[in-house]
Structure 1
């Protein structure tokens, strides 16, 4: 993979994180191919861009308000084929609460993404698998 491809992929994922934090799900969805797969940290599998966006829009406003604390870091970018990249990211979401009745928890996880270069040169996400770490005290992955 050349430096330009890696830079473009990193830029795409920086946009992904920014749009996620701002909860701009329609724009966020444009970073995915129409036939993209997304597996959530709970194991829900969406098989189209539309399902993915709809599912990510359907969260409580209390959770949306907490997104400002979410961060994501690229751990690795690897070429799999000339127009295919495998990317791993690590995310953190400190003080996350599903509801105000529950105590906050510091969440973290990993996302595995497959990106494909489009004929226009733009890199889009073809598949993503979000895995929440279980928080074992020993810190092993």
Structure 2
């Protein structure tokens, strides 16, 4: 990561910088938002433990899964835990994921990102991130007797 990528001067900028890196398909730029020993959990529970692994995972994703995708930041909120630590939640929308198998036109996905950020010197950097899909109409997940994973709603 030899380029001088833009740094976040406040926690609110992290989701926008993440989205910008995503739209540029720039895994180095995306990884620059994270500390060397950052943690990242994706929507299916894959867990990366450092900046280099986060970069490699996103480079693969941009190449194979999200090459034509469109990620839009819808809303974000910041909760300061101290003057130097904050939690940033960001609601996003993803479209144009690469088709796979019998899914020729993947539908829109919505997600919530949780970024835990820390102020180091004069900028903010992400120490941990977790991405969660929003499943419309669902309250939780369940695995049936055949081992099939499903999202369910106990209210209906």
Same fold (TM over 0.5): yes
* Equivalent residue number for residue 31 of structure 2: 29
- Distance in 1 (CA, whole Å) between partners of 2:33 and 2:91 is 18
Tell me if the contact between 1:97 and 1:105 (Cα under 8 Å) persists in the aligned partners.
no
- Distance in 1 (CA, whole Å) between partners of 2:117 and 2:138 is 33
* Equivalent residue number for residue 109 of structure 1: 111
* Equivalent residue number for residue 149 of structure 2: none
Change in Cα spacing, 1:94 to 1:137, as seen in structure 2 (3 Å) is farther
* Equivalent residue number for residue 133 of structure 1: 134
Change in Cα spacing, 1:35 to 1:92, as seen in structure 2 (3 Å) is same
* Equivalent residue number for residue 20 of structure 1: 22
* Superposed CA offset, 1:71-93 (max 9, x none): 12342111012200111001111
The TM-score, its normalising length taken from structure 2, stands at 0.74
Which stretch shifts more, 110-119 or 56-65? 56-65
Q: Secondary structure at the match of 1:65?
A: coil
- Gaps of at least 5 residues in structure 2 are 1-7, 140-152
* Superposed CA offset, 1:67-125 (max 9, x none): 2x211234211101220011100111134344274132111110111000002x11000
Tell me if the contact between 1:95 and 1:107 (Cα under 8 Å) persists in the aligned partners.
no
Greater C-alpha Rg: 2
Aligned residues: 132
- Distance in 2 (CA, whole Å) between partners of 1:53 and 1:62 is 14
The TM-score, its normalising length taken from structure 1, stands at 0.81
Q: CA RMSD in A?
A: 2.4
* Equivalent residue number for residue 53 of structure 2: 51
